[in-house]
Amino acid sequence: MTRNCCGDGLDVAENLRKIRERIREACAACGRDESEVTLMAVTKTVPPERVNKALDAGVRLLGENRVQECCEKYQSYHCTAEQIHLIGHLQTNKIRSIIDKVSMIESVDSLHLAKELDEALKKRDMEMDILLQVNIGMEPRKSGFAPEETEAAAVLARELPHVRVRGLMTIPPVETVPHGNLVYFEKMHRLYVDINGKIYDNKLEYISMGMSGDFADAIRAGSNMVRVGTAIFGARDYTK
């Protein structure tokens, strides 16, 4: 039987210890230092008290999927907006609700969204770090820039005065075989390196890719930010 993420049998601190060990092993396997990789705890459907257990155990970054859920839980977290990123799809009519509750929006998946975000930030005299979301697997139902469109999008987004492009993010197709996403991670890393060198003078900082089931492969392919939810909090109950 699958246990809900809120079950008492799940030890968040122990899960985090195991994840950090896997991060160390993945980094060692490719000659990287574990300090290069940021661990994000993805909090979708997880109640604030369990999220706070992760924060108390040393997690320094949360990933929120839904604007409404983030707004509802925000005041209960043992952290500030500086430690929260939005990683889920952002509708333009919800921009104003979220920009004071996160320090980065990783899911900027269109130039229209980037421009609307820039305009909303201008009205509040704010700036916001963003990542451009790439649909690296070219899945028709998934958001993001097509790989061949990403360079042009990065050029145009760089000109927006109130958003700061800090890197790229992707969610690859669901794995059907072990290490099945490695090809997508490698393709994504090549795209990141190319755009970073050609457009941003190698000043981009983040390539966000890899989740609970595949973050070790993502790290080996160059990821420096992994988004882990189930492996920390347990299986989610999406019926609630």
- 133 HSE (CA, 13 A, CB side): 23
* Average pLDDT, rounded, for the chain: 94
117-to-72, 79, 97, 214 alpha-carbon distances in Å: 21, 24, 11, 31
Distance CA 105, CA 190 (A): 22
8 Å CB contact between 233 and 30: no
| Phi and psi based region of residue 133 (left: phi greater than 0; alpha: psi -120 to 50; beta: remaining) | beta
Q: In the prediction, which pLDDT does 224 show?
A: 98
Q: Can you give the pLDDT at residue 7?
A: 44
What's the token pair of residue 32?
């990287």
Residue that has been written with the tokens 């990403």 in this structure: 150
Report the pLDDT value the prediction gives residue 235, as an integer from 0 to 100: 87
Model pLDDT for residues 83-102, shown as the tens digit of each residue: 999 999 999 999 999 999 99
Token reading at 217: 């492969």
> Over pLDDT 90: what percentage of the chain?
92
